[in-house]
Structure 1
Amino acid sequence: MNKILSINRPYLAFLVIIFLFAALTILSQSDAFNIHAANLSVGITADLLIVIPLFYYLLIRKTSIPKTTVIPIMVVGMILGFYIIPPENQYFLSQFKSFALPAIEVAILSFIIYKVRKAVVLFNRTKERSKDFFNVLIKICSEILPKALVMPFATEVSVFYYGFMVWGKRKLTKDEFTHHKFSGATAVLSVFLLIILVETFVIHLLLIRWNTIVAWIITGLSIYTALQVWGIIKSIPQRPIIIHGNGLTLRYGILNETFIPFENIDRIESFNKSINEEDQIVTLSPLGELEAYNILISLKSEGNMKGLYGIRKKYNRIAFHIDNKEEFLSSLQKLIG
């Protein structure tokens, strides 16, 4: 019984909050509220901004739901308050919106920055490269952010980390294999980066004659895209393909990642043919035919590849490139048998 309650507790928390919001909405439409609007408005405001968020926190504090989700509940309560409380009784709501909410948001943002910075410092200090920074960051973000924000936030931080905080080559273990040296990956992405920079300069000169604001907006977006590409280029050599004792982790920088258990591998073969749509082959590289590949793995059951910002793709056959193909295949055969 306790196990069932524990499993359903996250859902119970949201149902209870929805019920409380609905109850306060109904109360605000009652005759009793119309008679005592001033006094009841203060009580409803306190419930929306303090009591319900606090009650929600007590419900989720021993669950996997991030504690920072209390803030969205508080914001929803504030928005609801502006709809159900008469304008002349919205003084405390207005004060909360103007002063308390910004202070809370700054505190939460400071806490997130502190946790991320702590993760970066600890990771660099230990130099424990068996642990991947991107996956460590995802784990930390999962503890402090709503699920929908975990991958976007972790991706943005990782772009900056790999792009500007990691310099030099990664020292590989015997179970780690590079895939970028002879595949043309960094060359293609570097050309793409150069095109972005050149086009940004040219388009900016053209647009600024028409509209200065639009010109700088487009330039800003282009620079942001260039920084993304730079971070991706730098992340590729830092995230090699790894052979574990029970499976294989395929990575393509921060763009794609998948884990394949050995028992799910049907066949491994050398492969350098052109891929047709009817082949139903997924490439580890998002560049597809623009990049070389020399290994094809066929699965017994469907695999799941995690892409940029957490976007997932299912596959039964996956093609990718390995720089040292013979050593890679030999190491796999020893483990798979």
Structure 2
Amino acid sequence: MKKTINIQKNLKIFGIPLFIIALMIAIAKSPIFVNNPSELSLAITFDLLLTVPIVYFLLIRKTKIAKTTVVPFIIIGLITCTLILPSENQYYLNLFKTWILPIVELSVLTFVIYNIRLAIKKYKQNQTASFDFFTTLKNTCYEILPKSAVIPVVTEIAVFYFGFIHWKKRELKKNEFTYHKNSGTVTLLIAIIFIIAIETVTLHILLAKWNATVAWVLTFLSIYSGIQIFGFIKSMFKRPISIENNKLFLRYGIMNESTIDIATISSVEISSKDIELNKVTRKLSFLGELESHNVIIKLKEENILVGLYGIKHKYKNLALYVDNKNEFKLQLSNATQQLQNN
């Protein structure tokens, strides 16, 4: 019964704004618009850019839905206007793009920065947990964007943040552990970047003789791929594995991560033996069998491994590489013992 009520409520909240958008599209494609383009262009622009966001806001004002989700409806209205209105009837739309849209963009950026700074401030006041930029960015964006858009957007931001902005050396705490120093992964990824660079130059020269546009498009995609891999590498230096507050935070840069309640751990085995990867047994590394492991964690119940762009996989056994494996196991054993004593 409660589920049915929630479905009806969501249909109302999202259905009414979407109905208005659909109605505006129908009007723009109708013979009425052809006969009255100037007047209807103003009305359609007003409804899509103002009426729809306002109606949506009024529908969510007494719900738990973040008020900042009005922004995606403004963007949808903007895109719809651009697509359905002839260029000669986009005068008011262009005014909105010139004067209002920059204010919206600046407000969103300010909101994100403010929340991240607030999280940093809280962390400094009460250091019971390690500050993690990637996690904070996700939590902030969940208040602004639709859930389906959060992970792709956060991943792209994080690639550039870790790759080109965050250069300060990460000082490890006693409860934090690296996993990139001795595994060989960084060397492998750097080699891939060099291979991409060499192939890009060669391929560009060959394709340019046939089609310059295609050559530059593929070159741009190759450069972008190299930038992403560089961001992945840097994120491994900045996001260590940590044990805190009765939880084990497993991170593999921004590529893979999982949070384990220490109480659900069945055993921690120091082992480099080959294992069969399947739906029950996985590796923390996104490279899978290409990367070695030296620790195997077995759980009492299923858990979730979150990969790139929010792709989720279930597991009960997880193999990973930890540079200081013995200290890692010791601290996990101590945390488990302390939990049992309490």
TM-score computed with the length of structure 1 as normaliser:
0.81
Q: Distance in 2 between matches of 1:191 and 1:126?
A: 40
Which of 92, 104, 126 is 1:96 aligned to? 92
One-letter amino acid of the structure 1 residue matched with residue 262 of structure 2: F
Unmatched tracts of structure 2, length 5 or more: 338-342
Superposition map of 1:125-204 within 5 A? 128=124, 130-204=130-204
Structure 1 equivalent of residue 297 of structure 2: 297
Residue identity opposite 1:74 in structure 2:
G
What does residue 287 of structure 2 align with? Answer: 287
Deviation string 1:300-325 (CA, Å, 9 cap, x unpaired) is 22111111121212112110011111
Q: 1:11 to 1:302 in 2, by over 3 A?
A: farther
Structure 1 equivalent of residue 223 of structure 2: 223
Report the CA distance shift for 1:110/1:290 in structure 2 as closer, same or farther (over 3 A).
same
Aligned length: 328
The letter of the residue matching 2:109 is I
Measure the CA separation in 2 of the matches of 1:24 and 1:187. 55
Alpha carbons of 1:125 and 1:282: their partners in 2 closer, same or farther (altered >3 Å)? Answer: same
Q: 1:109 aligns with which of 105, 110, 116?
A: 105
Of 77, 87, 91, 1:74 maps to 77
Whether contact under 8 Å (1:60, 1:67) holds in the other structure is: no
1:238-275: CA deviation from partner (whole Å, max 9, x where unpaired): 10001123221100001011001122222221221223
* Partner secondary structure for residue 243 of structure 1: strand
Shift in Å, 1:121: 6.6
- After superposition, where does 1:236-247 map in structure 2 within 5 Å? 236-247=236-247
CA-based RMSD of the aligned residues comes to: 3.7
Using a 3 Å threshold, how does the CA distance of structure 1 residues 18 and 169 change in structure 2: closer, same or farther?
Answer: closer
**Alpha-carbon distance, 1:7 to partner:** 9.6
Percent pairwise identity: 37
- Equivalent residue for 1:250? 250
Cα distance in 1 for residues equivalent to 2:189 and 2:36: 63
Task: Tell me, yes or no, if the aligned pair for 1:303 and 1:314 is still in contact at 8 Å.
Answer: yes
Moved more, 67-76 or 242-251: 67-76
CA distance in 1, matches of 2:28, 2:115: 46
For residues 172-197 of structure 1, the C-alpha deviation after alignment (integer angstroms, 9 at most, x for no partner) is 11111111111112111111111111
Matched-pair contact (CA < 8 Å) for 2:28–2:84: no
Q: Deviations over 1:285-304 (max 9, x none)?
A: 01122212111112222111
Superposed CA offset, 1:109-141 (max 9, x none): 333333445567777899958210111111222
- The 1:80–1:292 alpha-carbon spacing in structure 2 relative to 1, beyond 3 Å, is closer
> Are the structure 2 counterparts of residues 149 and 105 from structure 1 closer, same or farther at C-alpha, using a change threshold of 3 Å?
farther
* Structure 1 residue 26 displacement after superposition: 9.3
Structure 2 length-normalised TM: 0.80
Q: Structure 2: how far apart are the matches of 1:43 and 1:97?
A: 9
Q: Which residue of 1 aligns with 2:52?
A: 52
The farther-off stretch of 326-335 and 65-74 is 65-74
Q: Which residue of 1 aligns with 2:308?
A: 308
Amino acid at match of 1:317: N
How far the C-alpha of 1:280 sits from its partner, in A, is 3.9
User: Which has the higher mean CA deviation after the structures are superposed, 67-76 or 267-276?
Assistant: 67-76
- What is the rounded CA distance, in whole Å, between the counterparts of 1:7 and 1:247 in structure 2? 34
